[in-house]
Structure 1
Amino acid sequence: MSTLWVVLIAIVALLIGIALGFFIARKYMMSYLKKNPPINEQMLRTLMMQMGQKPSQKKIKQMMRAMNNNQEK
């Protein structure tokens, strides 16, 4: 009977560890991406120039704002 309890406790501890690990990793990645966005204004400017567009600062700011709003949702 005691072996059954040990196995049961081990399984419960494993499930709790997996759930906690998932949520901690998710919170860490969300804060990391908020501090270090995957694309910045310089990257956006370079991308637009490669596509043959002459980027104005107004257009860059507008696209960055749209991407940030989209990221928050």
Structure 2
Amino acid sequence: MPDTIEPVEAERFAPGTYGCHEALHMAHVLAELVDDRLCGHPAVRLVPEWKALADQAATALQDLYQAIGARHLDT
């Protein structure tokens, strides 16, 4: 995916818009899925390195959710 955002996209997905709310929602859904389904998976729990990486992914998604929410709800 390109890193540049077209002006139309910027308007549609800026904090405070429904488009931004979609990103907030998806960050929440994915954080829950990673935490529930991946971090708790027996194969992942058996290998400490995998568990640490899965926990990192879950934490990163939770941090993303909080960052989007703070900016989105501040507008």
TM-score band w.r.t. shorter chain: 0.3 to 0.5
- Structure number with greater CO (CA < 8 Å, separation at least 6) is 2
TM-score (normalizing by structure 1): 0.38
